[in-house]
Structure 1
């Protein structure tokens, strides 16, 4: 299966050159070309892609702004930034970019960057297979709630965590993490899958967070009618509640 790719570049010569170089790579399939940020986001709303070659200086939304928006999605595509300037490199890597290529881009340099992207994408595919196997095990059990545990990654093995010991789940770097008392573990799941198997006392307060309602210590009013939540015995900064979930949180926690 080929890696589904899009090039986002407003300068035609650079766009043509990247298209040519990418076509030399057998494992990659160029599906879309976009000339600005708005066009790229419209394409991403309707299509699942594995990789974006993303210019930073674009009309409308910049490449950095596009990458920031994608971070809030489940399974966002990987990104290779392409630019004539090196001033955004630190910010790009904070957004978990695969690479940051300075123009003009040589065929050798691009090939090396695409290999990195391929390794990450294949690794993600392996995680998905493991996750599917775990889900099949759970689904084979007629009463899922009797298990009361979830598998998390602990070194080279799967550790079985009790649901009640998990304070919340969050997404970071395209992975979902389970946070217990002062320790976090990577899981093989996506948040949408966890919503299907977790007990009722877990609630998705944000597209990036599911919290254990039993372990909420404080609900903090925030600007524009939103909330932030602080977990019991957990030192990390507050977790935001999506505006669309505020009314439901009010009902669940008897706030209003």
Structure 2
């Protein structure tokens, strides 16, 4: 298991040093870098991360503001704070930070912090949980062969929707909604659970969206090589494609 990591640091030399040191650790995979808080929040919103090495003094949103924002999420990455000042230490640990590194810190000090983070992350995905996930995946594959409908909430009853009638699933206020042609319905699932039971024509293109590939109307080039997907539902909803999913979309839709 590779620990999906992001560095948020506004000083380029410090960012380069962190990047170099992190690459010496086999268990960690550096997926993203950000030089300001606003960019960091954009990346966090679109991607599932395990660990953020987060400077406190940043342009835009500060590291503390980012950490407070993450507290509102059901699933949040672990944080190692870095700073040249020590006055935020108490607040950082109230936010359940893995560690608080005072600059300049040594390679050994960072290594110890990474090991603490690794231990916490592995404990949160223990052997028992991993085995249960395997069992769930096997059971889900069996269900895929049998079930072609999903239960959604419609007033005081459960409405059974055909998968083919669903254009996409989306999250709002920690709840997941199934969007049909004109109407959306509340489900009792999380997106991760849906990924296990949905047929192969559904694909998670963003942290907050799973779309039905058969109901795509258009693919719109967006900035920095990304896309917006326009669906065929009544309002022609446009959904962003996460940067990490662009290559998959190119292959799935034969775009390049």
TM-score, length-scaled by structure 1: 0.52
Question: In the alignment, what sits opposite 1:88?
Answer: 88
What stretches of structure 1 of length at least 5 have no aligned partner? 141-190, 197-256
In structure 1, distance between residues paired with 2:8 and 2:115: 19
Q: Compute the displacement of 1:45 (Å).
A: 1.1
SS in 2 for 1:57: coil
Question: In the alignment, what sits opposite 1:129?
Answer: 130
SS in 1 for 2:29: strand
In structure 1, distance between residues paired with 2:14 and 2:132: 39
Q: How does 1:88-237 map to 2 (within 5 A)?
A: 88-126=88-126, 128-129=129-130, 132=133, 192=190
How big is each residue's C-alpha offset from its partner over 1:18-50, in whole Å with a ceiling of 9 and x where there is no partner? 111111111111111100110001111111111
Deviates further, 28-37 or 124-133:
124-133
Question: In the alignment, what sits opposite 2:159?
Answer: none
In structure 2, distance between residues paired with 1:98 and 1:135: 30
SS in 1 for 2:31: strand
Q: How many residues align?
A: 149
Question: In the alignment, what sits opposite 1:41?
Answer: 41
In structure 1, distance between residues paired with 2:129 and 2:54: 25
In structure 2, distance between residues paired with 1:5 and 1:51: 5
SS in 1 for 2:125: helix
SS in 2 for 1:82: strand
SS in 2 for 1:48: coil
How big is each residue's C-alpha offset from its partner over 1:160-207, in whole Å with a ceiling of 9 and x where there is no partner? xxxxxxxxxxxxxxxxxxxxxxxxxxxxxxx959x99xxxxxxxxxxx
Q: Compute the displacement of 1:128 (Å).
A: 3.6
In structure 1, distance between residues paired with 2:72 and 2:134: 26
In structure 2, distance between residues paired with 1:105 and 1:17: 11
How big is each residue's C-alpha offset from its partner over 1:47-98, in whole Å with a ceiling of 9 and x where there is no partner? 1111000000011111011011111112211000000000000000000000
How big is each residue's C-alpha offset from its partner over 1:89-112, in whole Å with a ceiling of 9 and x where there is no partner? 000000000000000121000000
Q: How does 1:62-81 map to 2 (within 5 A)?
A: 62-81=62-81
Give the CA RMSD over aligned residues.
2.9
